[in-house]
C-alpha cells in the first residue's frame, strides 16, 4: 500500500488483465459494500466526506478510473463501455458479490452502463448528479462534438478555465476550493499526464455519443437519484435552459424502482457540499427497514 498526502487513506493497487493498474482505497467492515465511482476529470478523494461517515456501517471502496488520479494511464479508449468493463473486472478480481454502486456525474453514467450490462453485480444504484440523464438531439450532439474535438477545447488550461471549479458548487468555502485545486493540479499537467487530452476528449465524446436515457427502464435494481437545484453543469448551459429539476424528474420517471431527491443549496458536487444529508439518504436507502 502507498501513503499519498492528497488521499484520505492508504492506496492499494489492483492490476487488470489489460495491464493497467487501478488505484483504490478500502475501509470499513460492513456487510454491504459501497463502491464509489468519481466523475469526469475526478479522483477518489472527492468521496472523503462520505466515506468517513459511511465506513462505520459499510465496507467502502473508492477507485480512481483509468487515466485518473493514481491509476495508470495509456492510450485507452476512455469510453463509458471501457470504464464499465474495467470496474466489472475490478469487482470480479476483488471477489466482491453484489455491490452498491455510487456514481457521480460521469461516474453515474458509467455505473448505469455497468448496472445494465451486469445487473447481477449490483444490488442498489446511487446516482449523484449523473451524466446520461440529459438528452440531446442529433444537431446538439453535432455541435457539442465539434466543440469537444476542437483544438481550443483540447488546450488543457483553457478546458480547466472553461469548466471553472467554482461552477461545480453552490457555495464553496475558499479554503476548500484551494484544497480541491491542489488535488487537480497534476491531472491538468500535460507533463505529468501525457494522455490528458485523450482522457478529456474520448470521455466527453463517449458520454455524448453513448447515451443511456432510453435504457433507464431496464434497470433491475432499486435506484436513488440525487440532484442539487443549483447544478450549473446539468443541463448543459450552452444549449439547454430548463431547470436541473426537470431533467432529473424526466429521467427518474423512466426508472422502474426509483427514489428522487432534489436538494436546495446544492451544486454539481452535491456529495461534497451536502455530505451529511447525502450520507443519511444513502444509509436510509440501503437500510429502509431501520426507518419503518
Q: Each residue of 199-222: pLDDT tens digit? A: 888 999 999 999 999 999 999 999
Give the pLDDT of residue 158.
Answer: 45
> Has residue 1 been placed in a domain?
no
> Has residue 5 been placed in a domain?
no
> Has residue 71 been placed in a domain?
yes
What distance in Å separates the CA atoms of residue 216 and residue 127, rounded to the nearest whole number? Answer: 12
Q: Residue 162: in which H helix or E strand, if any?
A: helix 156-162
- Position with higher pLDDT, 6 vs 10: 10
Are residues 34 and 100 in contact, defined by beta-carbon separation less than 8 angstroms? yes
pLDDT tens for 221-268 read: 999 999 999 999 899 888 998 999 999 999 999 999 999 999 998 999
> Has residue 2 been placed in a domain?
no
Give the pLDDT of residue 162.
Answer: 46
Q: Which domain holds residue 227?
A: 12-291
Give the pLDDT of residue 164.
Answer: 64
Mean of all residue pLDDT scores within the chain = 88
> Has residue 4 been placed in a domain?
no
- Structural domain total, the chain: 1
Of the candidate ranges 1-5, 30-34, 272-276, the one whose mean pLDDT is the lowest = 1-5
pLDDT tens for 18-50 read: 899 999 999 998 999 999 999 998 889 999 999
pLDDT tens for 84-125 read: 999 999 999 999 989 999 999 999 999 999 999 999 999 999
Give the pLDDT of residue 152.
Answer: 44
Give the pLDDT of residue 291.
Answer: 58
Bridge partners (DSSP) of residue 261 are 226
> Has residue 126 been placed in a domain?
yes
- Position with higher pLDDT, 77 vs 289: 77
> Has residue 3 been placed in a domain?
no
Q: Which of 138, 126, 23 is nearest to 69 (CA)?
A: 23
- CATH number, position 42: 3.40.50.1820
Give the pLDDT of residue 160.
Answer: 52
The CA distances from residue 69 to 21, 58, 98, in Å, are: 11, 24, 26
- Position with higher pLDDT, 16 vs 171: 16
177-189: average pLDDT: 64
Residue 183 CB burial class (10 angstroms; 0-12, 13-18, ≥19) = middle
Give the pLDDT of residue 189.
Answer: 56
Amino acid at each position: 500500500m502507498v501513503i499519498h498526502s492528497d488521499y484520505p487513506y492508504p492506496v492499494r493497487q489492483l492490476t487488470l488483465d489489460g495491464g493497467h493498474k487501478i488505484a483504490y482505497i478500502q475501509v470499513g467492515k460492513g456487510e454491504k459494500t459501497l463502491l464509489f465511482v468519481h466523475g469526469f476529470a475526478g479522483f477518489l478523494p472527492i468521496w472523503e466526506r462520505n466515506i468517513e461517515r459511511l465506513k462505520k456501517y459499510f465496507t467502502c471502496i473508492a477507485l480512481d478510473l483509468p487515466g485518473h488520479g493514481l491509476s495508470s494511464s495509456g492510450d485507452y479508449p476512455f469510453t463509458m463501455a471501457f470504464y464499465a468493463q474495467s470496474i466489472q473486472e475490478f469487482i470480479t478480481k476483488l471477489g466482491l458479490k453484489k455491490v452498491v454502486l455510487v456514481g457521480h456525474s460521469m461516474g453515474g453514467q458509467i455505473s448505469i452502463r455497468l448496472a445494465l450490462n451486469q445487473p447481477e453485480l449490483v444490488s442498489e444504484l446511487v446516482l449523484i448528479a449523473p451524466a446520461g440523464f440529459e438528452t440531446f438531439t442529433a444537431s446538439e450532439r453535432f455541435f457539442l462534438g465539434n466543440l469537444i474535438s476542437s483544438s481550443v477545447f483540447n488546450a488543457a488550461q483553457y478546458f480547466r478555465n472553461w469548466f471553472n471549479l467554482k461552477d461545480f458548487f453552490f457555495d464553496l468555502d475558499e479554503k476548500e476550493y484551494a484544497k480541491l485545486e491542489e488535488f487537480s493540479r497534476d491531472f491538468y499537467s500535460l507533463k505529468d499526464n501525457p494522455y490528458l487530452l485523450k482522457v478529456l476528449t474520448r470521455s466527453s465524446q463517449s458520454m455524448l455519443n453513448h447515451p443511456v436515457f432510453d435504457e433507464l427502464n431496464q434497470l433491475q435494481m432499486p435506484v436513488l437519484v440525487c440532484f442539487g437545484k443549483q447544478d450549473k453543469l446539468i443541463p448543459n448551459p450552452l444549449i439547454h435552459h430548463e431547470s436541473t429539476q426537470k431533467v432529473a424528474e424526466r429521467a427518474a420517471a423512466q426508472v422502474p424502482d426509483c427514489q428522487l431527491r432534489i436538494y436546495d443549496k446544492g451544486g454539481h458536487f452535491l456529495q461534497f457540499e451536502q455530505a451529511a444529508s447525502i450520507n443519511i439518504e444513502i444509509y436510509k436507502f440501503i437500510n429502509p427497514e431501520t426507518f419503518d
